[in-house]
Each structure stands twice: as structure tokens, then as C-alpha cells.
Amino acid sequence: MRVFVTGASGLVGRRVIPELQTRHEVVAISRNKDRLHCFNNVQSVEGDVTKRGQWQDVASSCDAIVHLAGAGIMDKRWSTSYKAELRRSRIDSTRNCAEVGAGVLVSASATGIYGDRGEEVLAETSSVGDDFLSRLAIEWEASAHESEGRVVTLRFGMILDKDGGAMKKMKLPFQCGLGGPIGSGKQYWPWIHSEDVCNIVLCSLEEQWTGAFNVVAPEQVNCSEFVTTLGKVLRRPAIAPMPKVALRLLIGEASGVLTASQRVIPKRLEEQHFQFQFPDLNSALNNLIMS
């Protein structure tokens, strides 16, 4: 299979492409081709997927698209202009990928689609939310479904990886003795190990999966449980709380990503008998921190 990958230099892209290469031919796109030099035997394309262009001709020669591009939710404060960038990088890019007409489109999405739901257990059939991130994800997925081929939308939880993402940001406060729960600590944080993410992407391509999948581990933990486990693995205290008000002052509206509660379960993955390599948080964190 010839697979076109967007967001190749991002957290998931860097992990997925070497795995894809063991079974498939890979074509990767970036706004800066120099970012793709880390990959061997990958055809590289320079282009901006938020805009129509010649890259679509290359993508149309592929059997499938794995669409992972998107500006980082927590990279900047949510100004009006950055919210527009978040929308453009997800919705416009996905619509352009769908327009290509590849046989399979596997598109990133997010558990943020459910909004802040307390202790409610959330499967793929649960209702969606009505905040900014929820509406963003709803349009994101709708854009993917404009494709005429088979479409899979992967609703990622917090992806844990030793070289980036949430882990990189959380380790420093803990190592300085400043780790602890955020807000009430009762909010559920859906999470998943990056190795399991890679395997799910491969299954999405190779199996006849279709529709939305919650890409989260089967163990649901709240914020307090998460930081306590992280503190134990790092052998650091987890007793310095971050009040919700202080977090909002620090990073603005984006603080809602950390204070919202989403008790998400991987119901459809379990129905497909997907075998998680890291089903519980303790094993996931030990693997990432000790490796």
C-alpha cells in the first residue's frame, strides 16, 4: 500500500512513519522538507495542506492518507487569530485531504469532541459537547467524511511519549518538586501510550474499520490519580496543587483542556479485540520514563 502522511514531523507522525515503512511505501509532506530528513526511504513532498496545491496530485497517486496535521492546542494562548489557525490547520487541511479521493482516509480527531462531562462514561456513540474544542472536532470529523472513500476518525486522548507532548511538559515541574493536581483533581484525563497509537493507526489502514474510534487506554484515571502515579514513577512528590483560577490566568482559555473531565472508554477498539501494549497508566509511565 502507498500511504500519504501529513503531520509527518509531529509527535505521532515521527512514531508512525517508521512503523508504516515496515509494511508500506510512505510519502510524507511538510511545509519544510528539511524536517523530513530524519526518515530513511521516504518520498518527501513540500507543501501546505491547508491550501489546495500540487501536493494533492501526489496524494491522489496513493492508496491511503493518514492525516495527522494540526496546530498544537496548547502551543499558544487562544487569541482570535490562533483559534482561526486551529480551525484552518484542522478543518481546511482535512477538507483538502478528503478532496483527493484516496481509497482510505485515516484522520486525527480528539476526545475534546465530548466536552466537559464529569464522571459520565463516554463511548463513541455518546453525545458531543458545545464548547470551542467540541465544535472544532465536530467540524474536523465532518470534513473527513466529505471523502468518498473509507473514513476512520481517531479521537486521540492525551498521547504519552518520552520525547514530546504532555510528558515533556509535565516532567519538569515534578523534577523541581512542583508537581501536583490541577484544579479539583477530580477531572478524568483520557490518555494513551504512543506505541498503542501507532498500532491503532496501522489497524485503521489495514482492517476494514470505519467511523470514529476513541484512541484511549482502557484504564480511566482522574487528574489526581494521574499525577500521583507520575510522581511515584519519577520518585518525586505530587503535592503542589495548581488552582483552576491560577491556571486560567497563566494560559487563558486553553486551561479548559486540563480542567475539563472526559471519562472516555475505547469501546470500539475493544469490540475489535485490539490488544493494548500498555493498558494501565503505571506500566505506560514506567516504560516511558525508564526506557
The pLDDT tens digits of the residues spanning 54-97 come to 999 999 999 999 999 999 999 999 999 999 999 999 999 999 99
d(CA 172, CA 278): 23
pLDDT of residue 3: 98
Whether domain 2-160+192-216+264-276 has CATH 3.20.20.10: the reply is no
Per-10-residue mean pLDDT of the chain, 291 residues long, equals 96 95 96 87 94 97 97 94 97 98 96 97 98 98 97 98 85 82 96 98 97 98 96 90 88 93 98 98 94 71
Residues sharing a CB contact under 8 Å with residue 86, sequence separation 6 or more, in sequence order: 70, 71, 73, 78, 136
pLDDT of residue 51: 97
Q: What does DSSP assign to residue 128? A: P
Quick one: the chain helix, strand, coil %, rounded to 5? 45, 20, 40
Which residue from 225, 164, 119 is spatially nearest to 12, judged by alpha carbons? Answer: 164
- Do the Cβ atoms of 41 and 10 come closer than 8 Å? no
pLDDT of residue 172: 78
pLDDT of residue 158: 97
Q: Record the cell numbers describing residue 268, joined without a space.
A: 470500539
Rounded to 10 degrees, the C-alpha dihedral 199/204/205/206 comes to: 80
Q: At what angle do helices 132-144 and 93-100 cross, to 10 degrees?
A: 10
d(CA 208, CA 149): 12
**So where are the chain's domains?**
2-160+192-216+264-276
pLDDT of residue 58: 97
pLDDT of residue 176: 78
pLDDT of residue 38: 85
pLDDT of residue 290: 82
